[in-house]
Chains A and B, each alone.
Chain A
Amino acid sequence: DQQVKQNSPSLSVQEGRISILNCDYTNSMFDYFLWYKKYPAEGPTFLISISSIKDKNEDGRFTVFLNKSAKHLSLHIVPSQPGDSAVYFCAARTGSARQLTFGSGTQLTVLP
């Protein structure tokens, strides 16, 4: 059973528009959530995170929203740029070992 789900394998957006990537989770013990971006032939790189005690965190063009009651988080990219084209993974942290559980990823394509 996947505890962190990204139900959209792919998303295409026009340059300059908003990209919204979604992530759902089932484990209420997750206390911290992270988004990673991955380009081909590279490892994932950290993008933005949010604590479970907050509902929004913003960093430049990137904003993450957390809805705990719905067990849902989303990543907004505004405005989207062609260089944002990558696979985006959401991840959730739990336990004293602080392990991360990853979603399956969403391929974002920003069209020029």
Chain B
Amino acid sequence: DADVTQTPRNRITKTGKRIMLECSQTKGHDRMYWYRQDPGLGLRLIYYSFDVKDINKGEISDGYSVSRQAQAKFSLSLESAIPNQTALYFCATSDLTGYNEQFFGPGTRLTVL
């Protein structure tokens, strides 16, 4: 079983729709992250959370919101999707110790028409 899972794996939606991407982990890690990947730009941090009560904006948080429902669950929402939010989205986790090695989920491919 995968340690970090993301649902859905693929989603096509229309401009203006609300979308939620979900992430669950069984690694027992406190820290969780949401990234997006665009061609030629690598991975960029959207939001991160160090525990259930701690949510922080990343480099590109505009147009996104998150919810940390439990230690194991971290959801990313697009309140009103727009075409330039078409991208590959990754959730990641890490623990409090060590050197911030992050463990990634398989990704969600989102297309906004």
- Are A32 and B105 closer than 8 Å at their CB atoms? no
In the assembled complex, the Cα of A104 lies from the Cα of B37 at a distance in Å of 9
- Are B100 and A103 closer than 8 Å at their CB atoms? no
Interface flag for B69 (CB, 8 Å): no
Given contacts A102-B44, A103-B42, contact A49 B105 (CB under 8 A): no
- Are B40 and A49 closer than 8 Å at their CB atoms? no
- Are B48 and A97 closer than 8 Å at their CB atoms? yes
The interface on chain B, measured as residues whose beta carbon lies within 8 A of the other chain's beta carbons, has a size of 24
Q: What string of 1s and 0s marks CB contacts (under 8 Å) between B35-77 and chain A? A: 1000011111100101000001010000000000000000000
Interface flag for B90 (CB, 8 Å): yes
- Are B105 and A43 closer than 8 Å at their CB atoms? yes
In the complex, the chain B residue whose C-beta lies closest to that of A49 is: B99
Given contacts A9-B40, A49-B99, contact A100 B45 (CB under 8 A): yes
Task: Name B residues whose Cβ lies closer than 8 Å to a Cβ of A.
Answer: 4, 35, 40-45, 48, 50, 56, 58, 90, 92, 94, 99-107
Task: Name A residues whose Cβ lies closer than 8 Å to a Cβ of B.
Answer: 4, 6, 9, 32, 34, 36, 41-46, 49, 51, 89, 91, 93, 97-105
